[in-house]
Amino acid sequence: MRCPHALPRRLARRSDLDRKEPNLSAVDVVIIGGCGHVGLPLGLAFADRGLNVVLYDINPNAVDAVNDGRLPFAEPGALEILGAVRAAGTLHASTDPATVRDAASVIVVIGTPIDNHLNPDLGAVQQAIGDVATHLVDGQLLVLRSTVYPGVTAMVEQLLVNLRLDVDVAFCPERIAEGQAMRELYELPQIVASRSKRALERATKLFRNLAHEIVYLEPEEAELAKLFTNTWRYIKFATANQLFMMANDFGLDYERIRAAVTYQYPRASDLPGAGFAAGPCLFKDTMQLAAFNNNNFHLGQASVMINEGLPLYLVARLEQSFDLSDLTVGILGMAFKAESDDIRSSLSYKLKRILRFKAARVLTHDPYVTVDPDLVALDALLTEADLLIIATPHSVYRDFETTKPVIDIWNLREQGVRA
Ligand SMILES: NC(=O)c1ccc[n+]([C@@H]2O[C@H](COP(=O)([O-])OP(=O)(O)OC[C@H]3O[C@@H](n4cnc5c(N)ncnc54)[C@H](O)[C@@H]3O)[C@@H](O)[C@H]2O)c1
């Protein structure tokens, strides 16, 4: 199906008077948003393959960290590559938007969050490109890599036409999971989309440095493909969480049932375990898809209610067995996923907020998180808390000794008690 936003393939050209004199051979790739969770691993991977990479980012702390050889956040395997590519001189970070000027390829991976009304900010990507527009030059390849609302690639194409820039545009979504980036960047097939043959060829050549398989789609198909990827995962987690609540309310152990369902039964082998489904992507991308479909996405919206409702369910169930108002509750794990330091949209914080109304005291611990001043040491939490909840299944919580009740919806310890 043709996209309603389809634009003419030939872009308007600048007049010779407007034309700048770039040195497009100086830098292979500039990544806008290059010190973020997606931009940095991507830049490291390209630099590790010998490309000359500049990470442009408006966060000066993250830029300084990268240039000092430190990671602004944890990502397994990234620190070693950062050391190697800095030594080789193939990567550096900058807060200077003018760095965009000499790059053959410019990749945009800024964050694309939803607003307080759960709607995507359709202007975020255009704004970021607009901010560097005076440094973009004819002949560049611009790759959009943020997860976007369908039609944003077309808007970017139109923006560049309006700016009278002859820049090739491709949409090449990122599909790595945090914590797996330095492996998955080399293993996952890369979706490449563009309305221009030349942009397709250039984006293919660029990503062949990493991926051994390229999958071609139209831009709007690729935008939906990325949203479908995350939404599918979010719905699967919601299914598991609903089934968990069902079994639990019936006094049965979901994990025991799941083990039986999935045992040597490939058709159900992807039934996930229960647990907090959170983080910066799955919820917001499900909401992006709902907004795209005029808010008509019952399955997605039901998934939000189930996944976001799990902390409330947990506390409501605990209130049936404990007088929380007398107890100190310890929350183990504040990051949104195991072995991560990323607290963005973590449901551990929702659990903490609910418990602060209900319990005498709430203590929190996380072995990886560095940005939360309220965290206490694990020993102190294990000593002072009357009741323990594993909110994030960090492996460090698998084996600690305690006589206190441990609420373990992840089934990390097996001997945990049901909620
Ligand atoms: N985090 C993930 O696991 C993941 C996976 C796949 C796709 N994505 C998508 O990738 C995109 C980026 O996500 P993220 O998690 O890396 O976000 P992030 O917040 O970690 O990184 C974004 C970076 O962009 C920088 N930035 C913001 N505005 C800028 C501007 N105008 N100019 C230059 N730099 C700017 C920020 O300082 C930050 O360092 C989002 O669209 C997200 O949905 C994320």
**Ligand 1 centroid from CA 236, angstroms:** 25
Do residues 37 and 342 make contact, with C-beta atoms less than 8 angstroms apart?
A: yes
Pocket lining: 273 vs ligand 1, CB cutoff 6 Å: no
What is the position in ligand 1's atom list of the atom closest to the CA of 38?
Answer: 16
CA-based nearest residue to 412, from 232, 275, 312, 318: 275
Give residue 101 CA to ligand 1 midpoint distance, Å: 21
Q: Above 90 in pLDDT, residue 16?
A: no
How far is 328 from 361, CA to CA, in rounded Å?
5
Alpha helices in 263-297, H assignment, sequence order: 282-292
pLDDT, tens only, 98-110: 999 999 999 999 9
Rounded to the nearest angstrom, the distance between the alpha carbon of 160 and the centre of ligand 1 is 21
41 CB within 6 A, ligand 1:
no
Q: Which amino acid is at 280?
A: P
pTM: predicted TM-score of the whole model, two decimal places? 0.92
pLDDT in tens, 217-249: 999 999 999 999 999 999 999 999 999 999 999
| DSSP calls for 105-169 | EEEE-----B-TTS-B-TTHHHHHHHHTGGG--TT-EEEE-S---TTHHHHHHHHHHHTT---EE
pLDDT band at 416 (very low <50, low <70, confident <90, very high): very low
Rounded to an integer, what distance in angstroms lies between the CA atom of residue 306 and that of residue 303?
A: 5
Sheet holding 168-171, edge to edge: 91-94, 53-56, 27-32, 103-108, 141-144, 168-171, 190-193, 214-217
Residue whose CA is at the smallest distance from ligand 1 atom 18: 36
